[in-house]
Structure 1
Amino acid sequence: MDIDVLNSWKFDDLEHTYTERDTMLYALGLGFGEDPDDSKELAYVYEDGLKTAPSMALILGYPGFWMKDPKTGIDWKKLLHGEQWLEMHKALPTAGTVIGRTRIDQISDKGEGKGAVIYLTRDVIDKASGDLLAEVKMSTFCRGDGGFGGENLPGPKPAVIPDRAPDHICELKTLPRQALIYRLSGDYNPLHADPEVARSVGFDRPILHGMATYGIAGRAILKTLCDYDATKLKGLDVRFSAPVYPGETVRVEMWVDGKEVRFRASVVERDLVVLNNGAARLS
């Protein structure tokens, strides 16, 4: 890792035009439309009265796999998506052009053999009006890059899951082809499609994208607590714990305290937590 290069790294503004078809395809990648008789759910995958899932902000104006650039010095084969935060300022249009404006917030050196963490923010801005639609923040754990002489800086404090039974539970079944649908929204990493690639890095078969699991958790909250009203979900934060295999059932447990929601997600078939320390903010 070349800390001097990274500290001066500049991202060009990225213009991203998307259509109603893209909006519907993204929602299908999260499993919306599972109940075609539910008109409120159908609104995310049907052009008559179409709505946009708030988590779609994660794929808009995305700068791509920039850490693979040799100038960064990052060992990109050892990267892990650590945490994800989302703050919604306005509802996403069902189609339009946005500007993605990305910056590195900080780089934390965990020490030799312990890795490093890069924190980034991307503003998603409506090109026509100049309005800030969403702030997308994420952390990337660089397992092969600790000990470069930087500071061990603290990251955001994770949400605490209450020590009691959840107030709500929502189970959503994924399709065996879920990753093959989700990848059409822009993430073509073969890990999510090619069995040989998946086995080469230690998985039994292709895994679901972490951001798809994140979006499924958002879908569960929209269904359970928002009556499928996208404008009510204002923020969604998680820590990634483990991958989901397409075809598994995602159970989202929710603890409600006014407009604050704590949540975690697990796969029923393996009784394994896949998203933890979740926090959602409702209007």
Structure 2
Amino acid sequence: MRKSIVGIYDKGSGTIVHSRHELIDESEGVCYAEVDAQSFYVGQGGWGGPRGPKGIKLDTPKRKPDFVVTEQTGKELSLLYRLNGDYNPLHATPEPGKDMDFPGVILHGLGTWNISAHAIVRTVGSGDGSTLQEFQARFASPVLPGDKLLIDIWNLGFIGGKEDLVDVRFSCRVDGGKVVLKEGQAILKVPIKGSEAKPKSKL
């Protein structure tokens, strides 16, 4: 895994660090996956640096979603997700969260991210994880362990000129509460009949 810094931008109220991670087979020189992340550091702006490029805003369709997937998180989920290697105490004990004006322990952002990806693969990708080609979203609000999540999914159909790539838009919200992931997009590679988004199997 190779990491590089693409850019550091001064947004006034904070700083954005744009990093890129590439999963590379060094013996073959093949890049199997690329992850771009933009981290916002609150209160670290105003140092006179470049503002950075404007991002492209991905709006969700102005209609009812094609699918709404419900996922009930457990009270222990943040403790289980820590086993991936992220041992930030913010996800284990209430004190750090309360110091940041959260109610207490919050779930890892990537936990919510992966719950949403899993829901999209189940509904549009027929339960086959290899169909997921691209995935992006913006973090909007934290999730508390035990929250019920609703993933709204819109299947926009095949991308023009690419008969096997489906454009999916999504957002994730807490039941009765705030949107936690917004401007979501997933690109899935599925057979033409998969555009009907009817799952063939379950994970």
Q: TM-score range by the shorter chain?
A: 0.7 to 0.9
What displacement does 1:144 show? 1.9
TM-score of the two chains, using structure 1 as the length reference = 0.61
Residue 211 of structure 1: how far off its partner (Å): 0.6
Pairing 1:173-252 to 2, within 5 Å after superposition: 173-252=72-151
1:223 shift after superposition: 1.1
1:157 alignment partner, one of 53, 56, 65: 56
Residue aligned with 2:39, SS: strand
Unpaired segments ≥5 residues, structure 2: 158-165, 190-203
Query: Which of 12, 27, 45 is the equivalent residue of 1:146?
Result: 45
Secondary structure of the 1:206 match is: coil
What are the superposed Cα offsets for residues 219-275 of structure 1, whole Å, 9 maximum, x if unpaired? 11011111110111101100000011111111100111121011000011x421000
Residue 182 of structure 1 aligns to a residue in which SS? helix
Partner of 1:282: 188
Deviations 1:134-183 (A, max 9, x none): 10011011222222222212243131111111111111111110000000
- AA of the residue aligned to 1:108: Y
Higher helix share: 1
Specify the SS of the correspondent of 1:105.
Answer: strand
1:25-40 alignment runs, 5 A limit: none
Cα separation, 2, equivalents of 1:153 and 1:203: 29
User: Equivalent residue of 2:64, what SS?
Assistant: coil
Distance 1:242 1:217 in 2: 14
Residue aligning to 1:106: 7
Q: Distance in 1 between matches of 2:111 and 2:25?
A: 23
Displacement after TM superposition at 1:127 (Å): 4.6
Q: Give a deviation string over 1:110-155, Cα, whole Å, max 9, x none.
A: 23xx222111111011355442111001101122222222221224
**Partners of 1:155 and 1:250 in 2: CA distance:** 30
Matches of 1:107 and 1:155 in 2, distance apart?
A: 13
**Cα distance in 2, alignment partners of residues 231 and 128 from structure 1:** 23
Aligned residues: 181
Displacement after TM superposition at 1:215 (Å): 0.5
Q: Counterpart of 1:170?
A: 69
User: Offset at 1:208?
Assistant: 0.3
**1:212 shift after superposition:** 0.5
Structure having the larger proportion of residues in strand: 2
Determine helix, strand or coil for the equivalent of 1:166: coil
2: distance between equivalents of 1:202 and 1:158?
28
Q: What one-letter code is carried by the residue in structure 1 that aligns with 2:89?
A: P
**Change beyond 3 A, Cα 1:147–1:235:** same
Partner Cα distance (1:261, 1:191) in 2:
32
TM-score (norm 2): 0.84
Gaps of 5+ in 1: 1-99
Q: Secondary structure at the match of 1:163?
A: coil
* CA apart distance, 1:216: 0.5
